[in-house]
Structure 1
Amino acid sequence: MAASEFAEWVRHFETERDRRAAGPDPSWESGARLAPAVQASIRRFQLGEDGDGADLIAKADAAGDPHYAAAVRLFEDEEHNHARLLARLLEAGGATTLTGHWSDTVFGRLRRSAGLRAELLLLMVAEVVALRYYRALRDGTDDPLTSEVARRILADEERHVPFHCARLRTSIAELPRGARRPLLAGWRLLLLGAGLVVAADHGRALRRLGVGRGRFVVDVTRSAGPVVAAILGTHPPRVPGEAAEPAAAAPPALSRRR
Structure 2
Amino acid sequence: MINREYEAWVRDFEAERERRATVGDPAWTRGAALDPALVRSLQRFQVGEDGDGSALIGKAERAGDPVYAAAVRLFVAEEQNHARMLALLLTAGGAGTLSGHWSDAVFVRLRRLLGLRVELLVLMVAEVVALRYYRAVRDGAPDPLTAEVAGRILADEERHVPFHCRRLREGLSPLPAPVRRCATAAWRALLAGAAVVVAADHGPALRHLGVGRREFTADVIRSSGPLAGAMRTGPGRSPAPAPDESSPVGA
TM range (shorter): over 0.9
CA RMSD of aligned residues (A): 1.6
How far is the alpha carbon of 1:24 from its aligned partner?
Answer: 1.8
Change in Cα spacing, 1:100 to 1:119, as seen in structure 2 (3 Å) is same
What is the SS of the residue equivalent to 2:4?
helix
Normalised to the residue count of structure 1, the TM-score between the two structures is 0.92
**Which residue of the partner structure matches residue 237 of structure 1?**
240
Unmatched runs of 5 consecutive residues or more in structure 1: 239-248
Amino acid across the alignment from 2:239: P
Match of 1:251 among 230, 244, 247: 244
How far is the alpha carbon of 1:6 from its aligned partner?
Answer: 0.3
* Matches of 1:230 and 1:176, distance apart in 2: 16
> Which range moves more in the overlay, 226-235 or 75-84?
226-235
What is the SS of the residue equivalent to 1:3?
coil
What is the SS of the residue equivalent to 2:112?
helix
**Which residue of the partner structure matches residue 65 of structure 1?**
65
How far is the alpha carbon of 1:2 from its aligned partner?
Answer: 6.3
1:72-83 equivalence runs, <5 A:
72-83=72-83
Amino acid across the alignment from 1:255: S
1:118-129 equivalence runs, <5 A:
118-129=118-129
* Matches of 1:78 and 1:126, distance apart in 2: 15
How far is the alpha carbon of 1:114 from its aligned partner?
Answer: 2.2
Aligned pair 1:105/2:97, yes or no? Answer: no
Count of residues paired in the alignment: 247
**Which residue of the partner structure matches residue 136 of structure 2?**
136
**Which residue of the partner structure matches residue 155 of structure 1?**
155
* Matches of 2:189 and 2:144, distance apart in 1: 35
* Matches of 1:191 and 1:250, distance apart in 2: 24
**Which residue of the partner structure matches residue 21 of structure 1?**
21
* Matches of 2:44 and 2:209, distance apart in 1: 16
How far is the alpha carbon of 1:175 from its aligned partner?
Answer: 1.3
Report if aligned partners of 1:226, 1:235 keep a CA contact under 8 Å in 2: no
Unmatched runs of 5 consecutive residues or more in structure 2: none
Report if aligned partners of 1:169, 1:230 keep a CA contact under 8 Å in 2: yes
The share of aligned pairs that are identical, in percent, is: 64
* Matches of 2:161 and 2:243, distance apart in 1: 13
Amino acid across the alignment from 1:115: G
Report if aligned partners of 2:43, 2:98 keep a CA contact under 8 Å in 1: yes
Per-residue CA shift, 1:77-129, capped at 9, x if unaligned? 00000000000000000000000111111211111222100010000000000
Amino acid across the alignment from 1:49: E
Change in Cα spacing, 1:231 to 1:88, as seen in structure 2 (3 Å) is same
Normalised to the residue count of structure 2, the TM-score between the two structures is 0.95
* Matches of 1:151 and 1:250, distance apart in 2: 18
Per-residue CA shift, 1:152-197, capped at 9, x if unaligned? 0000000000000000001010212221101111111000000000
**Which residue of the partner structure matches residue 244 of structure 1?**
none
Change in Cα spacing, 1:9 to 1:257, as seen in structure 2 (3 Å) is closer
* Matches of 1:26 and 1:88, distance apart in 2: 10
Aligned pair 1:221/2:224, yes or no? Answer: no
What is the SS of the residue equivalent to 1:223?
helix
